[in-house]
Structure 1
Amino acid sequence: MAVVGPGPVGSGARVTEPIGDHIAPSQSSRQAKPRWFRILVTLVPALAFIGLLWIALAGTGSQTESGSGAPSFELPLLDGSGVLTDEDLRGKPVVINFWASWCIPCREEAPLLEKTWRTYRDKGVAFVGVNIKDAESDAKRFVREFDVTYPTVRDLDQRLTQDLGVKGLPETFFIDHRWTFFGAISGDETGDQQGTVVLGAISEDELVSNVETLIKRARSGVEANR
């Protein structure tokens, strides 16, 4: 038995083909995929993962250069009392510390940061903690445990993290009264946790020295404007 169908377009002819050529494939034949297809199915997820990883790394970008303008931001306060923006901090020397509750060096330097904040807050220095890659409940527990009294925000979409070029945790950034990036300090790499590079805790000498420099720059700016 044969099926009669149209011939090539424009030929006006009609062709006869064996009906056996049009029998629907069996279940077994549908499952017998070509080797190249099976390889492609295996490679696609891997290639997609590599692509996403590249995008994530590319989004981090290079670290902000000294003397360049610091980025603007608006982030929710951890205690739920509202938001903190760059406009709230401009005109002051600012110390911004990135941390997470699971980061051991973050825990090591937390008492030092709080101590330094209490020493210099009456001199106009602002401290801000930026919590990333953390559960809110764990972050709040950390703040209570170390009695952190300076403002803490959450960078949920990690935009500020990327804008500043954070390399790992913990990392501390210094911004002067003109909202100009002054520098960043982090210890040597100590390992990797939760896909994040873990860096050593900041030393007291490094922290105090940079805070003192920020204060001097602010005073010089005030005197220059008189």
Structure 2
Amino acid sequence: MSRATGPGRWRALVAAVALVLLAGCSGPSDTYSPPTAPPTGEPSIDLPSAKAAAGIADCPVSGDQPVVAGGLPDLTLPCLGGGRPVRLAGLRGTPMVINIWAQWCGPCRGEAPHLAEVQKLAGNRIRMIGIDFADPQPGYAIEFAQLAGWRYPQLVDEDRRINASIPFAGPPQTLLVDAEGKIVYRQNGELASTAQLTGLIRDHLGVRL
């Protein structure tokens, strides 16, 4: 898998789905149309090795706590690139930013640097988790995360199962979840800036970055 960086590589990652990009990614629309066919041409790669080379953290341990009203669904998702699966409803103890994205999504690329910057600012005060959504190309997803500078854990929801409990038009979506597991804010569509996200974290999670 190529380790090239820069704007040209970003364009290459989504060239195969350019015609469906605007339809497949949400602003605050009320319909979602994922790509009608997966992008083609992904080489055969060793996903665990690619994940390690990208510096993506292992997925967190989740518990068997009961589902919280207004909280994350009782849904277990695999870890991108291999590792322990994660039960969303069993994540507790630390406020969370959960970002739902896809490597074919233009707005996801636009907001990617803001998420990377917030990760640096947050340290261990905020748990950040990504969910690669409706994306049949895990190798490209790992490369996307690497290019974005995301080092936090990434889950996979290729079949869009989270949509059954948390309906949304399409990625990107960002959920702020308190330490008890309740969703306290939901950002529909692209985050405009690092300042916007740090402000939302301050206002809804009570953490100043």
> What is the TM-score of this pair, normalised by structure 1?
0.56
SS of the aligned residue for 1:183 comes to strand
Percent identity at matched positions? 29
Find the aligned partners of 2:163 and 2:202 in 1 and give their Cα distance. Answer: 25
How far off its partner does 1:81 sit?
Answer: 1.8
Find the aligned partners of 2:204 and 2:127 in 1 and give their Cα distance. Answer: 11
Find the aligned partners of 1:114 and 1:101 in 2 and give their Cα distance. Answer: 15
* Of 105, 109, 120, the match for 1:118: 120
* Of 168, 171, 177, the match for 2:170: 168
Change in Cα spacing, 1:104 to 1:206, as seen in structure 2 (3 Å) is same
Q: How does 1:191-210 map to 2 (within 5 A)?
A: 200-210=190-200
Instruction: Report the counterpart of residue 104 of structure 2 in structure 1.
Output: 102
Which one has the bigger strand percentage? 1
| Contact 1:185 1:202 (C-alpha < 8 Å) held by counterparts | no
How far off its partner does 1:214 sit?
Answer: 4.3
Find the aligned partners of 1:111 and 1:90 in 2 and give their Cα distance. Answer: 26
Find the aligned partners of 1:151 and 1:214 in 2 and give their Cα distance. Answer: 22
- Stretches of structure 1 lacking an aligned partner (at least 5 in a row): 1-56, 58-66, 188-199, 218-226
| Contact 1:116 1:208 (C-alpha < 8 Å) held by counterparts | yes
Change in Cα spacing, 1:153 to 1:163, as seen in structure 2 (3 Å) is same
| Contact 2:177 2:184 (C-alpha < 8 Å) held by counterparts | yes
| Contact 1:112 1:204 (C-alpha < 8 Å) held by counterparts | yes
Change in Cα spacing, 1:126 to 1:88, as seen in structure 2 (3 Å) is farther
Instruction: Report the counterpart of residue 132 of structure 1 in structure 2.
Output: 133
Instruction: Report the counterpart of residue 143 of structure 1 in structure 2.
Output: 145
Deviations 1:6-43, CA, capped at 9 Å, x for gaps: xxxxxxxxxxxxxxxxxxxxxxxxxxxxxxxxxxxxxx
**Higher relative contact order (Cα pairs below 8 Å, separated by 6+ residues):** 2
Q: Establish whether residue 212 from structure 1 lines up as the match of residue 189 from structure 2.
A: no
Instruction: Report the counterpart of residue 78 of structure 1 in structure 2.
Output: 80
Change in Cα spacing, 1:156 to 1:102, as seen in structure 2 (3 Å) is closer
> What is the TM-score of this pair, normalised by structure 2?
0.60
List structure 1 runs of 4+ shifted beyond 4 angstroms. none
AA in 2 matched with 1:109: E
Which one has the bigger helix percentage? 1
AA in 2 matched with 1:126: R
Report the number of matched residues. 139
How far off its partner does 1:147 sit?
Answer: 2.4
Instruction: Report the counterpart of residue 152 of structure 1 in structure 2.
Output: 154
- Stretches of structure 2 lacking an aligned partner (at least 5 in a row): 1-30, 32-68
AA in 2 matched with 1:129: G
